[in-house]
Amino acid sequence: MKRPRLLLVEDEIDLGNVVRQYLEISDFDVDWATDGRQAFDRLRVIGKEYQLALIDIAMPEMDGFQLADRIIQLGLRLPFLFLTARNEKHDRLHGLRLGADDYISKPFDIDELVLRIKNIIKRSTGSQMAASTPVIHCEDVAFSKEALRLSISGKKDVSLTPREAELLDFLFRNENRILRREEILSQLWGENDYFLGRSLDVFISRLRKHLSASSYISIDNVYGVGFVFSVRR
């Protein structure tokens, strides 16, 4: 079986060497770039060969947030995870708004990093099977969880992150009922903590913005409780 190919973008030489070597003995092929511009040049040429990018934020030439934005502009459906010494909440939320699949702060446990990478790749592999995956059609909305695609009556066609797709699938399975935040977090991601709660707010906000183009479907707040995925037929 072909080993997943990763792009590691890290300017700290000692850390980059350690991470690359550990990932390679953990059954990954790793290309290592030491700054954002070098990484971007590789992505322009062979971006479709990667299954995931691990991106440091504070880098010369082009920082991690700028690189992530360029990945999106290239149209690459490439999951990415931020590696960073910056542990501020607004940085995490900004990374999630850019579409990051995860965020891990230095110093980190290398085994935890490997597990997170495997989980992200497992979630995102369905995006390669768009032609054969089931699609949910509801009024003016079409959604494929496996293909990570959301289309709204020809007005909008967007790519979702794996976690956004998981959340939207859960909402479709629980339409027109009050969903408590704690229920969503425990059912989808197995735990309810502060960071996941803030992440949920970001995902809900992004989905709500996408669905604003629909005449029939919306995500409504229930103050102090949670949300309702409203479908008007």
- Over residues 41-53, the pLDDT tens digits come to 999 999 889 999 9
Write down the CATH number for the domain with range 161-231.
1.10.10.10
Q: What is the per-residue pLDDT for 73?
A: 83
Q: What is the per-residue pLDDT for 35?
A: 92
Q: Where are the beta strands (DSSP E) in the chain?
A: 5-9, 29-33, 52-56, 80-84, 102-105, 136-138, 141-144, 149-152, 156-159, 178-180, 217-222, 226-231
Question: Tell me, which fold does domain 5-126 have in CATH?
Answer: Rossmann fold (3.40.50)
In this prediction the pTM is 0.58
* Intrachain domains 5-126 and 161-231 with the same fold: no
Q: What is the per-residue pLDDT for 131?
A: 40
The gap from C-alpha 226 to its chain's centroid, in whole angstroms, comes to: 22
Q: What is the per-residue pLDDT for 218?
A: 94
What are the structural domain ranges in the chain? 5-126, 161-231
The gap from C-alpha 160 to its chain's centroid, in whole angstroms, comes to: 8
Rounded to whole angstroms, what are the CA distances from 116 to 101, 111, 125, 195?
10, 9, 14, 16
| Residue 233, pLDDT above cutoff 90 | no
- The DSSP result for 190-220, as a single string, is S---HHHHHHHHHHHHHHHHHHTT-SSEEEE
